[in-house]
A and B are shown apart, each in its own frame.
Chain A
């Protein structure tokens, strides 16, 4: 089981210029599952 890692907010301020290409300063947030608890893959 992956350990819980409730990192506090990074304090990062979004709003870097965005031309559709990711740069090192860009913060990416990935939501695996939202309020339903479901998301990510399934089936096979």
Chain B
């Protein structure tokens, strides 16, 4: 779409699926419920994305107040948990406050978050033992399906609201509410068709450039030819690919590809995800948007009241969800956290009962279940990720291959839908107009409220000739240091 905007018509988009949108697609099942692949809301950082949404969706969207909660100790705690410790039982609240004070006065396991070498140490340094025990460690394992010690700390900035002692004490002693949501925290959602409707319309606007049901079998990076499973081929001068980077390097690239490159790419880690939709023939009992579940009494880490996003996502098409509502539950999976696919729906329903989302007897009113497994759900920000990307991405770009997207760039911190779309836009801006890409190099600083923390920097590792730029920065710094008396 951006290519066309800039007057370049010589392009073709291919996709294995019979639809576009990838993980952002939506599906309406036979029972009449519409499901997304996990929780998606339109929460953009970019004018371009916002304007595109306005252009394609017009007034066909709903505007929702974000209302997110954490379920623990058989109660609802407003999100973010760490700002609302006062809602916990007193013993747990004490442990959280005590740990926080120790951590932030240098008495904890890790003296400073700057000293932390991984996400686990970051949790200990910033939040302390209590918050780590009650929320951060169990919740993050449920989401990532990897021990936090395997993960880096760079991804955390905007995603996790950090906390200072004074704010924590104030909220507890003065019984202040400190919600991460409110009237000014709203998100858009397509009125009909689920989140994928936005991307479906995007495809319609450039349909003459899209070829569906075409499965890539191999790419000869030297000859610049893609071969498909049906034996057809496509030649290219420039290739932009959103397929998982490890698959691209391990299984797809042919020809003169160093074994070390294949090995490095195969070391990238990811987690899989089960999306379980539960349709219920009852009026929706809640105004909540989505909820987090750190405890072990349920398999999911997040549940969304999806039918609250729009009145047109259930069989009750008259609007208003007067007769049905829907819950979208997300369960992660990895070698560290196996899931029994045959039992995950039943375990999810039992978990909904344990977590207080389904009332006793309400399971009898479940009229629909929907299951989707994404082999690639979360690109794990592992400790060695950036070093791997700094080996792999420049090698590809030197051969005219630009790997972008949630699993193309493998950077969770810039892998939301708006980020991912802008990775494509910026890659095209770079190719056509010579502009520097910024999204793939975003660094998020940790802030107290977890918002407005983005610092756009030139990439330190991946893409855009970063090694040279990073080298220049180091040289400049060293030169400045040497010039000092």
Contact = CB atoms under 8 A, between A and B. Distances in A.
Q: Do A and B bind each other?
A: yes
Interface of A: 1-10, 12-16, 18, 20-22, 24-44
Interface string B176-216: 00000000000000000001000110011001101111111
A2 to B, nearest CB: 4
A3, A4, A29, A38 interface centre (most CB from chain B within 10 Å): A29
A16 B155 CA distance: 39
A9 B243 CA distance: 21
Contacts of B232: 6, 8-9
Given A2-B203, A4-B18, A6-B213, A36 B244 contact: yes
Interface stretch (B416-424, B437-445, B454-462): B416-424
Nearest to B251: A35
8 contacts: A2-B203, A6-B213, A25-B237, A29-B12, A34-B244, A39-B407, A39-B408, A44-B416
Interface in B396-435: 400, 405-408, 415-421, 431-432, 434
Contact of B243 (A3, A6, A20, A36): A36
A31 B15 contact: yes
Given A10-B234, A18-B237, A22-B238, A41 B431 contact: no
A14 B420 CA distance: 28
B240 A34 contact: no
Contacts of A8: 232
Contacts of A12: 235
Interface in B223-246: 223-226, 232-244
B305 to A, nearest CB: 15
Top 3 A-B pairs, shortest CB-CB distance:
A40-B22, A34-B243, A42-B23
Contacts of A40: 20-24, 199, 242, 405-406, 420
Nearest to A3: B207
Give the size range of B's interface with the partner. Answer: 35 or more
Contacts of A22: 8, 238, 431-432
A37 to B, nearest CB: 5
Contacts, number: 224
A29 B11 contact: yes
A37 B42 contact: no
Contacts of A42: 22-24, 37-38, 40, 374, 377, 406, 415, 417, 420
A38 B236 contact: no
Contacts of B37: 42
Contact of B10 (A5, A20, A27): A27
A2 B408 contact: no
A35 B243 contact: yes
B237 A44 contact: no
Main secondary structure of the interface of A (DSSP, over half): loop
A4 B3 contact: no
Given A9-B233, A22-B8, A44-B417, A31 B240 contact: yes
B17 A5 contact: no
B344 interface: no
A37 B405 CA distance: 14
Interface string B436-475: 0000000000000000000000000000000000000000
Contacts of A30: 11-14, 239-242
B217 interface: yes
A41 B38 CA distance: 12
B255 to A, nearest CB: 14
Contacts of B431: 20-22, 28
Contact of B207 (A5, A25, A32): A5
Name which of A2, A5, A35 has the most chain B CB atoms within 10 A of its CB: A2
B376 interface: yes
Given A29-B236, A33-B243, A42-B24, A4 B417 contact: no
Contacts of A21: 431-432, 434
Given A2-B204, A38-B376, A44-B195, A28 B240 contact: yes
A30 B234 CA distance: 11
A41 B240 contact: no
Contacts of A31: 13-15, 216, 226, 239-243
B41 interface: yes
B406 A43 contact: yes
A19 B226 CA distance: 22
B237 A43 contact: no
Given A2-B207, A21-B432, A40-B420, A28 B8 contact: yes
